[in-house]
Structure 1
Amino acid sequence: MIRRPVLLRAARPVALTLLVLFGTGTGTIDLWAQPVQKPLTKQAQTELDTIGAELRANARKREQKHQSARQIAEEMERLRTQMIDIARTQGASEKRAAIYRSRLETLTLLEADMTRRLGTLRNKQSRLLSALQIYSRNPPPTIFVSTRKANDAVIAAIILKEITPELKKRAAVLSEQNRDLIRVRREAALQNEALFISESDVSEQQKQLETLMADRAALEDQLLREADAIEARNLELEARQRTLLGLPSPLRAPQGRALDLQLPVVGEKAGSYGESIDGQTNRGLRLKTAPGAQVRSPGNGRVEYAGPLEGYGQVVILDVGGDYRIVMTGLGRVYVDPNRTVAKGEPLGRTPNLTDKPTIFYMELRKGENPVNPASGFDLTKL
C-alpha cells in the first residue's frame, strides 16, 4: 500500500523511547505502536536518530523529484497538444502540396511540349536561313549569266523580299515562345520550391517536437527512477529501524497460492474482487497509487499486449503461464512491446503523472478468459 509520509514515521527522534513505550496515539504506523523488545543502547538511539533524520530528508527529496517529474509530464502534455494541432494543419499542408505537385507536373509537360515545338521551328528556321545565307553570300555574277538565270535571280530576289517579313514574324514567334519557356521553367522552379517548403515545414516542426518530447520523457524517467531509489533506501532504513527496536519483520506471503506473484505497484486497496462498485461487480483489484508510480512485472512471463485500448487507456496484458494472464490498466506510460519476455520485477511502465492526487490502477487475474480472485496468485494480506 502507499506508505504514509516518512516524516511521520521518523518524527521526534529525541522522544523515541516514549513513542515506542506509549505509542503515538494516532495509529499511523505499527512500528511505533509496538513495545520495544529490548532496551535501546545509546549507540542504537543515536543510529535511530540518524535514520529518522535521513528518512525526513529523503521524504523531501522524493517529493521534490516527483513534483519536478510532474511538471515535466505537464509540459509533455502541452507538447503533445501542439503535435495534435500540427497534425490537424498537416491535412491542409498536404492539400497544398498536392496542388503544387499537380501544377508542377502540368508545367513539366508544358515545358516538354514547348521545347519540342521550339526545336522543330528552330530546325526549319535554321535550314531556311542557311539557304538564304548561302545564296546571298555567293550570288551569280550578272555579267556572265544567261537571260534565264538572270530571270531566276530576279525571281529569287523578289521571293527573298517577300519572305523577309514572314521570317521576321517567325523569329518574333520563336522569341516569344522562348520567353514563355523561360517563364514556365521559372514558375516550375517556384512551384518545386513551394512543394519542398510545404512538405518539409510540417515534418521539421513535428521532428523538433518529437525530439523535445523524447528528451523530456527521458528526464521524467530519470527523476522517477531517482525517487524510486530513495524509496528503496527508505525501505532499508525502516528494516534497520525494526532491527534496532527488536520488532518482527513484515509478515511473509502465505504459502499454497496457485501462483507466486508480486503486486505490480505499491498502493492502497480501493476495491476488492467481488465488491459492487457503481452497480457493477468488481472482477479484479483496484489500487490507489501515487502519481508516476512504477509498474513492475508481477512475475516471469510474456507480454501479450501493450499499448492503448479504447476506454481503458494504456493497457498491459501479461501471460504468466499455466493459462493465467494478468490484465493491467490505468497506466500513463508503457515501456514494453508485445511478444517481449519480461522477468519478475522488471519495469512495465508508470501510472499517470499529471496530477498530485492518487491515481487508480486496476488489475485482473484471469484463468483462461475468466477473471479469478487475485488472492489465488497474489499476497493481499498487506493491503
Structure 2
Amino acid sequence: MLSSSRQLLLTGLAVFALAGAVQSDAQQRLKDLSAADQAALDNLSAQRRAEERKGDNQRRTARQIAQEVEALRQQIIDISKKQGTGEQRSAIYRAKLETLNQQETDITRRLSAERAKQARLLSALQIYSRNPPPALFVTPRKANDAVMAAIIMRAITPELQKRTQVLVQQNSRLVNLRRQAALQNEALFISENDISEQRSEIERLIQQKMALEDQLLGQADQMDARAAELKAREARLRGDTPLKGLLGLSASDTARLQAPAVGEVVRAFGQVEGNGPASRGISYAVLPGSQVTAPAEGEVEFAGPVESYGQVVILNIGHNYRVVITGIGRIYVDVGKTVGRHEPLGRMPNLSDKKTTLYMELRRGEDPINPTTPLQLSAN
C-alpha cells in the first residue's frame, strides 16, 4: 500500500513538473517571439476569426432555412386539415346522394305501380269508347253498370292525374337534387386534386430547402474545422503545446465511446437532479444544427421518432452493447446500415440559436453502463 502511494506521488510530481516545464517553455517562447513569428501569428488569428465569422453566418442562414422548412410543414398541416374537412363534406354529400337514390327508387316504384293501374283503367275506357254496346241490346242492369263505370272513371281520372303529376314533380325534384349533388361531388374532387398538387409542391420545396440547409451546415462544419486547425497552429506558434499530446493517448481509448457531438456535458451518468431518478446516460449541451456522429462502429438497429423522445438512433456495437442516442433533429441513416466510428448519424435541431440537448446511453443487455468506461470487447 505504501509502495503504491509512493509510486502515485512520484507520478503526480512528474506530471506536475512536466506541465510546469511546458508552461515555462511556452512563456519563454512567448517572450522570444520574433517580429516575423508575431506577424504570422497575427495573420493566423485573423484567418481564424474570419473562418469563425463565416461559419456563424452559414449557421444563421441554415437556421433561417430551417425555420422556412418548419413554416412549409405547417402549411402541409393546414392543407391536411382542409383536405380532411373536404373529405368530411364529400362523405356527407355521398350519404345524401345515397338517400336521394333510395328515395328516387321508392318513388319510381310507386310511379310504376300507379302507371300500371292507370294503364289498365285507360285500356278499359279505350275499349269501351271504341266498342260501345248497342242501346237496344243492353239490359237495364248492364246499362246501369256502364253508366256507373263512366261516372266513376270521370271522378277517378282527375285524381289519378293529380297524383301522377305530384309524383312526376317529386321525381323531377330528385333528379335536380341528384344533379346538384353530382356537381358538388365533382367540385370536391377537383378541389382535392388541387390540394394534392399543392402538397406535392410544398414537399418538393421542403426537400430542396433541407438539402440546402445540409449543404450550409456542412460548409459551416468545414469552416469550424479550419478555425480549429488555425487555432492549433496559433498555439504551436506560441509554444502552447497541449499536455495530453505530450503524454500520449492510452491504448484503452480505442475501446471507449467518443462523444457523439461537440458540446459540454450538462448531466453526467448517475447524476441526480432534484427528486428525479439518477441519469442512465450522459447529456450534452450542443449548438443547434451540430453534426451528430457515431460514437463507435456498429449497425443501426433503429432510426426514427419515439414518443416523448423525439428522433432516436440505436446502434448495436457488438459484444451485447447498444448505444441509444436521442435529441437528434434529423436522421441521416437507415435501419440495417453499418456505420463507422465518427460517421455522421444526423444533425441537431436547427430552429433556435439556443443550445440543444443530446442524450447518449450505453447498455449492455438491458443494463445501463457509464458511457465513459472502457468497453469489454473481449467478452462474449
Per the TM superposition, whether the score is higher than 0.5 is yes
* Residues 15-72 of structure 1 deviation map (CA, whole Å, 9 limit, x = unaligned): xxxxxxxxxxxxxxxxx97948x98896x88776655443322211211121122233
Q: How does 1:97-116 map to 2 (within 5 A)?
A: 97-116=90-109
Q: Secondary structure of the equivalent of 2:210?
A: helix
TM-score, normalised by the number of residues in structure 1: 0.67
2:18 corresponds to? none
How much has 1:320 moved relative to structure 2?
A: 0.8
2:170 counterpart of 1:177:
yes
How much has 1:287 moved relative to structure 2?
A: 2.3
- How many Å separate the matches in 1 of 2:64 and 2:307? 26
How much has 1:327 moved relative to structure 2?
A: 1.8
1:219 corresponds to? 212
RMSD: 4.7
1:67 corresponds to? 60
CA spacing shift, 1:57–1:135, aligned 2, 3 Å: farther
Which of 341, 344, 348 in structure 2 is aligned with 1:344? 341
- How many Å separate the matches in 2 of 1:47 and 1:115? 99
Instruction: Give yes or no for contact 2:298–2:339 (8 Å, CA) kept in 1.
Output: yes
1:301 corresponds to? 298
Instruction: Give yes or no for contact 1:114–1:181 (8 Å, CA) kept in 2.
Output: no
1:318 corresponds to? 315
Q: Secondary structure of the equivalent of 1:357?
A: coil
2:222 corresponds to? 229
Q: How does 1:1-383 map to 2 (within 5 A)?
A: 35=29, 51-78=44-71, 96-122=89-115, 139=130, 148=137, 164-166=157-159, 168-189=161-182, 192=185, 196=189, 210=203, 213-238=206-231, 251=245, 253-257=249-253, 259=255, 261-278=257-274, 281-377=278-374
- How many Å separate the matches in 1 of 2:40 and 2:104? 89
- How many Å separate the matches in 2 of 1:34 and 1:189? 92
Instruction: Give yes or no for contact 1:257–1:376 (8 Å, CA) kept in 2.
Output: no
Q: Secondary structure of the equivalent of 2:285?
A: strand
- How many Å separate the matches in 2 of 1:124 and 1:225? 86
- How many Å separate the matches in 1 of 2:281 and 2:47? 37
- How many Å separate the matches in 2 of 1:40 and 1:126? 124
Higher relative helix content: 2
Q: Which amino acid aligns with 1:188?
A: A
Aligned residues: 340
- How many Å separate the matches in 2 of 1:239 and 1:60? 18
User: Which segments of 5 or more consecutive residues in structure 2 lack a partner in the other structure?
Assistant: 1-25, 376-380
- How many Å separate the matches in 2 of 1:225 and 1:148? 116
Q: Which amino acid aligns with 2:110?
A: R
CA spacing shift, 1:259–1:172, aligned 2, 3 Å: same
How much has 1:117 moved relative to structure 2?
A: 3.5
- How many Å separate the matches in 2 of 1:364 and 1:97? 49
